């Protein structure tokens, strides 16, 4: 419609109109181009990540090749430090693998014969031979590329603007047709009607609507960035205001992603001895999270032993599933070991069944259990050490704050249901726990999604969106990228991979996700500003097109000119862009665009402003103003009522309940002064007496106060 209007204005030689509309059109196009081009960065980053090298057996020789030339059936050698080049089945050896880039879980996993080592994971310990069975885009890692390319949510802003413009254009076309038919019967030449049709066309298109929305969101993005959240897709700010469901990763988001020892369980030793033995069997320089957790506990309780008494140390090996050390104390030589309860109990000559119930019970509560053995000639099972990833200190408060804002938080985790329920209980997530598997759909009734495979996250987001929810998703790994891009509000945490950040619409810069609360609050403030602008624009459009049409029927001449409407654009639309900086309050519930409520309430306010217009029109006729002077009188009325309408609809209660922002207030006052001067001095328009300008100004303000009473009542009915 804007492009069609530009053509019409050129044909009619209305070049000033052309320049104004073309500028707004180009401005929006440039902003959109730069924002949308960022969306493709995720795919490029994925392709770069896939470029790794591998050792492959070809023609009975080991060769170094790029991963992209591997084919199913190749035998490859995988060692410490390697990035696994393709999805491969291990045929000999064992590996300790870091899959955090894929799953988000930082604890390494053991891969043995017949297990699958996934492309993109990193070998931390061990060596193995494996047969390639999936390569490149067919791998689990590679499928992410395809998902990222296909993922993406519908723009609610685009739908809103289209709905508003569509309704206004329909109204405009009907009025133009009625006016043309009426003009034919009263014998007004068609060339005289065309300028009036142009006036209606320009008045009915919210030219500055996209620009104002962009400014409001850009202004909000700047505010949010100061609070620790970087916005990479502007429309996500509006989506954050409407978000009613947030799917949150457990590990590293709700929890600290840092193994911590719970209360150790001593069996054949004191708790202090148990901790010391476990520390002897740990390596200070190790990156192993279990070693770190044990040593951290020993230091915190002042039980750190003298490791110089250790004569030998065998680090953890995936094949043995334990660490061992030999220590010399008071002339006695002892062996200590820590590791998997099944292994340590066997070494100590204890049947695993004797401790299995206790280990299982701890596992159900979310604990990972290791056993500790110690002894001189024969090792004894001295105790069990439960480890868990505790909730972040701010998680419970965060979830409570989001609940108070009407956002339902759902936990998504690969852990089993009992573990997930225990963590959920600690942070205040209440509701049904669902173990996700092939036979169960992703129900929106679930508060906890447990046993989730990485690819399930994308499906969960889509299922919630199909159920009508505006969905947020937090994530940090490669596997999260499709879900982050699919969600209306994809949130990458501070330690996320580059791919996750490129796929997300909001990137947090502080640890945890507490900044999400600020993003939601800021998003809702921006929504209120955009709602103010939209209400104002619909009111003004309906007021102008109906008043100009109705007044033409009443007095049989046009009460304004096309040039006056262009001035009105300058005086009102550009001033109302300062709404993007207005002082507003955020809502305590998710915001939703209700086009019906917008149109109904705006139409009622517009109808009252049409009455105001006729009062001013007949007052001008009563004062025997010429047609040119009436043009200026009506122009002043349209400008002043537009400014006071902004003052009225910006506040959901009575107009005096809050003060406009400095920029908005200055722009309104400046507009009033400027329009009053050009009207009284006859600059660009036909001059009218100063008293008539003041009369219009005073009456429009008084009428605004009267309409505000009705507005307050109607807004309460429609929940605006």
Long-range CB contacts for residues 422-431, cutoff 8 Å, separation at least 24:
422/364, 422/365, 422/366, 423/250, 423/254, 423/255, 423/366, 423/391, 424/448, 426/391, 426/396, 427/254, 427/391, 427/395, 427/396, 427/399, 428/396, 428/399, 428/400, 428/403, 429/399
Residue 626 C-beta-side C-alpha neighbours within 13 Å: 7
Within a domain: 21: no
Q: By percentage, how much of the chain surpasses pLDDT 70?
A: 86
Within a domain: 42: no
pTM: 0.71
Residue 444: what pLDDT? Answer: 77
Q: Are residues 344 and 435 in the same domain?
A: no
pLDDT tens across 436-468, in order?
A: 664 456 777 888 988 787 668 888 888 898 888
Within a domain: 32: no
Of the listed ranges 189-193, 282-286, 587-591, 594-598, the least confidently predicted one is: 189-193
Within a domain: 143: yes
Q: Are residues 453 and 360 in the same domain?
A: no
- The neighbour count for residue 661, using CB atoms within 10 Å, is 18
Q: Are residues 346 and 396 in the same domain?
A: no
CA distance 410 to 423: 12
122: pLDDT strictly greater than 50: yes
Within a domain: 558: yes
Q: Rounded to whole angstroms, what are the CA distances from 407 to 121, 218, 397, 514, 660? A: 34, 24, 13, 14, 29
Q: Give me the CATH number covering residue 405.
A: 3.40.50.1000
Range of the structural domain that residue 654 is part of: 153-228+519-718
Within a domain: 121: yes
Task: Tell me the pLDDT band of 407, cut-offs 50, 70 and 90.
Answer: very high
**Bridge partners (DSSP) listed for residue 450:** 435
Task: Tell me the pLDDT band of 156, cut-offs 50, 70 and 90.
Answer: low
50: pLDDT strictly greater than 50: no
Q: Are residues 146 and 159 in the same domain?
A: no
pLDDT tens across 482-496, in order?
A: 888 888 898 888 777
Greater pLDDT, 137 or 94: 94
74 tagged catalytic: no
Of the listed ranges 158-162, 247-251, 340-344, 513-517, the least confidently predicted one is: 158-162
Q: Are residues 534 and 646 in the same domain?
A: yes
Q: Are residues 380 and 397 in the same domain?
A: no
Within a domain: 236: no
497: pLDDT strictly greater than 90: no
Q: Are residues 674 and 552 in the same domain?
A: yes
pLDDT tens across 304-351, in order?
A: 988 888 888 888 877 778 889 999 887 888 999 998 899 899 899 888
Coil, helix or strand at residue 152: coil
Greater pLDDT, 385 or 363: 385
Q: Which of 98, 249, 476, 515 is catalytic?
A: 249
Greater pLDDT, 149 or 306: 306
Q: Are residues 384 and 426 in the same domain?
A: no
- As for how many domains the chain has, the answer is 4
145: pLDDT strictly greater than 70: no
Q: Give me the CATH number covering residue 145.
A: 2.70.150.10
Task: Tell me the pLDDT band of 697, cut-offs 50, 70 and 90.
Answer: very high
- Token readout for 698 is 């005073």
Instruction: Note whether 143 and 118 are within 8 A (CB).
Output: no
Within a domain: 25: no
Could you say which of 478, 509, 540 is where a domain stops? Answer: 509
Q: Rounded to whole angstroms, what are the CA distances from 521 to 161, 219, 244, 510, 524? A: 23, 14, 13, 17, 5
Q: Are residues 672 and 549 in the same domain?
A: yes
* CB-based contacts of 211, cutoff 8 Å, min separation 6: 24, 27, 28, 577
154: pLDDT strictly greater than 90: no
Could you say which of 363, 388, 413 is where a domain stops? Answer: 388
Residue 37: what pLDDT? Answer: 56
Q: Give me the CATH number covering residue 303.
A: 3.40.1110.10
Could you say which of 388, 405, 431 is where a domain stops? Answer: 388
pLDDT tens across 583-595, in order?
A: 888 888 888 877 7
Q: Rounded to whole angstroms, what are the CA distances from 46 to 34, 53, 66, 485, 704? A: 21, 16, 16, 14, 57
Q: Are residues 165 and 117 in the same domain?
A: no
CA distance 415 to 366: 8
Longest dimension (CA), the chain: 121
Residue 696: what pLDDT? Answer: 93
Q: Are residues 619 and 543 in the same domain?
A: yes
Q: Are residues 307 and 355 in the same domain?
A: yes
Per-residue b or e along 674-700, where b marks 16 or more CB atoms closer than 10 Å to that residue's CB: ebbebbbeeeebbebeeebbebbbebb
DSSP percent split of the chain into helix, strand, coil, nearest 5 = 55, 20, 25
């Amino acid at each position: 419609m804007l492009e069609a209007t530009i053509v019409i204005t050129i044909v009619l030689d209305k070049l000033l109109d052309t320049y104004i509309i073309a500028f707004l059109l180009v401005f929006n196009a440039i902003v959109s181009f730069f924002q949308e081009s960022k969306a493709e960065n995720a795919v490029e980053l994925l392709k770069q990540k896939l470029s790794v090298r591998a050792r492959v057996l070809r023609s009975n020789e080991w060769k170094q090749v790029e991963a992209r030339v591997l084919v199913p059936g190749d035998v490859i050698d995988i060692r410490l430090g390697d990035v696994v080049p393709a999805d491969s089945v291990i045929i000999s050896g064992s590996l300790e693998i870091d899959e955090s880039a894929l799953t988000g879980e930082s604890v390494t996993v053991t891969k043995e014969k017949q297990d699958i080592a996934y492309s993109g994971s990193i070998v931390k310990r061990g060596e193995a031979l494996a047969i390639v069975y999936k390569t490149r885009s067919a791998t689990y890692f590679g499928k992410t590329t395809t998902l990222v390319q296909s993922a993406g949510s519908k723009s609610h802003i685009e739908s809103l603007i289209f709905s508003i413009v569509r309704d206004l254009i329909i109204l405009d076309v009907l009025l133009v047709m009625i006016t043309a038919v009426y003009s034919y019967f009263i014998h007004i030449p068609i060339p005289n009607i065309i300028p009036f049709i142009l006036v209606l066309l320009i008045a009915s298109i919210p030219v500055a609507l996209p620009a104002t929305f962009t400014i409001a969101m850009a202004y909000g993005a700047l505010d949010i960035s100061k609070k620790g959240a970087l916005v990479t897709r502007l429309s996500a700010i509006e989506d954050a205001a409407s978000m009613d469901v947030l799917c949150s990763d457990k590990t590293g988001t709700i929890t600290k992603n840092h193994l911590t020892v719970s209360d150790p369980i001593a069996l054949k030793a004191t708790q202090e001895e148990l901790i010391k033995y476990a520390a002897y069997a740990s390596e200070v320089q190790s990156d192993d999270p279990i070693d770190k957790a044990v040593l951290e506990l020993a230091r915190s309780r002042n039980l750190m032993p003298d490791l110089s008494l250790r004569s030998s140390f065998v680090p953890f090996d995936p094949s043995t599933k334990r660490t061992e050390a030999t220590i010399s104390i008071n002339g006695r030589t002892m062996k200590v070991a820590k590791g998997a309860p099944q292994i340590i109990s066997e070494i100590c000559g204890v049947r695993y069944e004797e401790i299995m119930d206790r280990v299982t019970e701890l596992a159900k509560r979310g604990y990972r259990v290791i056993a500790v053995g110690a002894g001189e000639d024969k090792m004894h099972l001295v105790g069990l050490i439960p480890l868990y990833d505790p909730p972040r200190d701010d998680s419970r408060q965060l979830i409570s704050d989001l609940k108070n804002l009407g956002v339902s938080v759902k936990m998504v985790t690969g852990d089993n249901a009992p573990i997930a329920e225990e963590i959920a209980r600690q942070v205040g997530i209440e509701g049904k726990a669902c173990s996700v598997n092939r036979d169960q759909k992703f129900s929106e009734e679930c508060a906890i999604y447990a046993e989730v495979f990485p690819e399930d996250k994308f499906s969960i987001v889509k299922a919630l969106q199909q159920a009508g929810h505006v969905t947020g998703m937090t994530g940090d790994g490669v596997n999260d990228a499709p879900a982050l891009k699919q969600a209306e509000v994809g949130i990458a945490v501070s330690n996320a991979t580059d791919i996750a950040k490129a796929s997300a619409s909001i990137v947090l810069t502080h640890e945890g996700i507490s900044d999400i609360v600020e993003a939601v609050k800021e998003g809702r403030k921006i929504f209120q500003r955009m709602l103010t602008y939209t209400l104002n624009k619909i009111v003004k459009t309906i007021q102008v097109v109906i008043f100009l049409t109705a007044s033409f029927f009443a007095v049989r001449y046009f009460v304004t000119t096309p040039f006056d409407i262009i001035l009105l654009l300058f005086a009102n639309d550009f001033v109302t862009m300062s709404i993007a900086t207005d002082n507003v309050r955020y809502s305590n519930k998710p915001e939703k665009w209700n086009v019906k409520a917008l149109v109904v309430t705006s139409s009622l306010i517009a109808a009252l402003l049409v009455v105001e217009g006729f009062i001013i029109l007949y007052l001008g006729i009563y004062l025997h103003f010429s047609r040119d002077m009436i043009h200026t009188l009506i122009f002043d009325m349209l400008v002043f009522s537009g400014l006071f309408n902004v003052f009225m609809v910006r506040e959901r209660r009575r107009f005096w309940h809050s003060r406009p922002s400095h920029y908005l207030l200055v722009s309104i006052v400046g507009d009033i002064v400027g329009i009053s001067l050009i009207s009284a001095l006859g600059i660009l328009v036909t001059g009218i007496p100063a008293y008539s300008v003041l009369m219009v100004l005073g009456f429009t303000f008084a009428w605004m106060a009267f309409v505000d009473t009705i507005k307050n009542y109607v807004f309460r009915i429609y929940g605006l």
